[in-house]
Structure 1
Amino acid sequence: MIEYEELRADIDHYLMERFKYRKSLVYLTIDNVITTRRNSRVDLYLRIRKVESLFPPDCLIIARLGFSKERIGHGTHFLRFLTGIALKYGFRYIGIECANMKSGAFAKKLGFNSIDSENYVIIVDNLKSYFSME
């Protein structure tokens, strides 16, 4: 668990700065899940997986990501940030788990590949290329 504490702190700092929180918002569970405490502006549940499952190994999996204000760029901004975090900590993939219609369309727009009808994955280098081309 301690090995991901720095990753948790980076995500916490990002969310505190982006959404103007004064107190820590993010914690790490014993099964390597980064999640936010209950709050009104952001809802995050991020799985850290180093072993292969439905998703490839070395994958940061977004299980839940929501913002109180939608369609103003928070999701894209977070994915750009998460791409840098993945590169910094050696993750090769980013996944989106159990996507609904909106998040599935978002994933496709960013170049994610469908694993099945509701789960998506992308190689971090491909996402890095996408953001450098914007």
Structure 2
Amino acid sequence: MIEYEELRADIDRYLMERFKYRKSLAFLTVDNVIATRRNSRVDLYLRIRRIESNFPPDCLIIARLGFSKERVGHGTHFLQFLTEATRKHGFSHIGIECANAKSSSFAKKLGFYSIDGENYAIATTNLISYFSME
């Protein structure tokens, strides 16, 4: 679990800077989940998976991601940050779990592939290419 504390700290710093929080938002659970404390602007739940499951190995899975203000670029900005963070911490994929209609179209726009119709994944190298072309 200690190996993921640095990733949690990076995500926490990002959220605090982006959303102007003074206190820590993100915490790490014993089963390798990074989540945010209750707040009004950000809802985040990330699963860390190093072994293959429905998702590829070395995958950081977005189980829940929501912002109080939608369609203003928070999701895209967070994915840009997460792409660099996953690369820094040795993850080769990012996944989206149980995507609804909005997150499915967001995933497709960014080049994620469908695993089974409701779960999506992408290699971080593909996201790096996507963001470098923007």
TM-score of the pair, normalised by structure 1:
0.99
1:85 equivalent in structure 2: 85
Question: Quick one: which amino acid aligns to residue 91 of structure 1?
Answer: F
1:126 aligns with 2:119: no
1:56 equivalent in structure 2: 56
Q: Which runs of 5+ in 1 are unaligned?
A: none
Identity of aligned residues (%): 80
Counterpart of 1:95 in 2: which secondary structure? strand
Counterpart of 1:15 in 2: which secondary structure? helix
2:27 equivalent in structure 1: 27
Counterpart of 1:84 in 2: which secondary structure? helix
Displacement of 1:3 in angstroms is 0.7
- Determine the C-alpha separation between the residues in 1 that align with 2:3 and 2:124: 21
Counterpart of 1:13 in 2: which secondary structure? helix
Question: Quick one: which amino acid aligns to residue 23 of structure 2?
Answer: K
Residues 62-97 of structure 1 show CA distances to partners (whole Å, capped at 9, x for unaligned) of 000000000000000000000000110110000000
1:76 equivalent in structure 2: 76
TM-score of the pair, normalised by structure 2:
0.99
RMSD over equivalenced CA pairs, Å: 0.3
Displacement of 1:117 in angstroms is 1.0
Question: After the TM superposition, which segments of 4 or more aligned residues of structure 1 sit over 2 Å from their partners?
Answer: none
Residues 6-54 of structure 1 show CA distances to partners (whole Å, capped at 9, x for unaligned) of 0000000000000000000000000000000000000000000000110
Question: Quick one: which amino acid aligns to residue 106 of structure 2?
Answer: F
Question: Quick one: which amino acid aligns to residue 61 of structure 1?
Answer: I
Counterpart of 1:66 in 2: which secondary structure? strand
- Determine the C-alpha separation between the residues in 1 that align with 2:129 and 2:6: 25
Counterpart of 1:83 in 2: which secondary structure? helix
Counterpart of 2:72 in 1: which secondary structure? coil
Q: Which runs of 5+ in 2 are unaligned?
A: none
Displacement of 1:113 in angstroms is 0.1
- Determine the C-alpha separation between the residues in 2 that align with 1:60 and 1:73: 21
Counterpart of 1:39 in 2: which secondary structure? coil
